[in-house]
Amino acid sequence: MKVAVVDIKGKETGRKVELSDAVFGIEPNEHALYLDVKQHLANRRQGTHKAKERAEITGSTRKIKKQKGTGTARAGSIKSPLFKGGGRAFGPRVRDYSFKLNKNLKRLARRSALSVKANDNAIVVIEDFNFEAPKTKNFIEVLKALGLDNKKSLFVLGDSNNNVYLSSRNLKTSEVITGSELSTYKIMNANNVVFFEGSLEGIEQNLSK
């Protein structure tokens, strides 16, 4: 598919780029999308939750009442989960939620995510630009020119561009990354994905493997 290249004022430059059908035009694999997003969110979990169980509670281990003849259930320890101040039964423990996915599946997921955005006409290709100095105001003007000032947007750079990155850092609805940082979650979490013209070759080369 062909996409017109626009400038920072949102006007077409008269040039068009051909997006690879192998990356932007496949039949999206929903299960691959689900697994990759699930892995991303799982890897972000700290897993530091912890509740003390009965063996970890400080307290006496003596039998608190005789076994029979009380008219109530037998009880052997004040640290039982049945009593106030006792340990928690089957409480959360410190654990690692991360899991592994194959590289080929992750590539398939990213191609599927890009194809979803291409089908929704949510992909913009902008000619490479830079700012003389980091200014949030300049980046907001670019967003307004592209009609993305009230939408979640993801800007993908070909190479690291410190001025553009710093200009966007204060904006909650926009994120600037390089092509190597592109992930399925970030693609699907944005309403529109804006590719710098110089980033497409590297992305297509990487995801076509």
> Residue 18 sits in a domain of what CATH number?
3.40.1370.10
Same domain, 22 and 117: yes
Mean local confidence (pLDDT), 10-25? 91
Number of domains the chain contains:
2
- Beta strands 2-6 and 12-18 are antiparallel
- Residue 158 confidence (pLDDT): 87
Same domain, 111 and 81: no
Q: Which two tokens stand for residue 50?
A: 């912890």
Same domain, 22 and 34: yes
Same domain, 115 and 131: yes
Q: Percentage of residues in the chain with pLDDT exceeding 90?
A: 89
Alpha helical stretches, state H, the chain: 21-24, 30-44, 103-119, 136-146, 162-168, 184-189, 200-207
CA distance linking residue 8 with residue 46, whole number of Å: 39
Tally: H helices and E strands in the chain: 7, 6
> For all residues of the chain together, what is the average pLDDT?
93
Q: Could you list the residue range(s) of the whole structural domain that residue 197 is in? A: 2-45+101-207
Same domain, 64 and 41: no
CA dihedral 83, 86, 89, 94 (to 10 degrees): 160
- Please give the model's pTM, rounded to 2 decimal places: 0.84
pLDDT in tens, 69-79: 999 999 999 99
Same domain, 61 and 133: no
Same domain, 106 and 17: yes
Same domain, 143 and 202: yes
Same domain, 173 and 88: no
Mean local confidence (pLDDT), 147-162? 92
Q: How many CA atoms lie within 13 A of 118 on its CB side?
A: 23
Q: Is the pLDDT of residue 208 over 90?
A: no
Of 43, 28, 44, which Cα lies nearest the Cα of 188?
28
The pLDDT confidence band at residue 113, using thresholds 50, 70 and 90, is very high
Same domain, 39 and 53: no
Mean local confidence (pLDDT), 93-110? 96
Residue with token string 């993305």: 148
Same domain, 78 and 152: no
Of 176, 158, 157, 156, which Cα lies nearest the Cα of 166?
176
Same domain, 146 and 200: yes
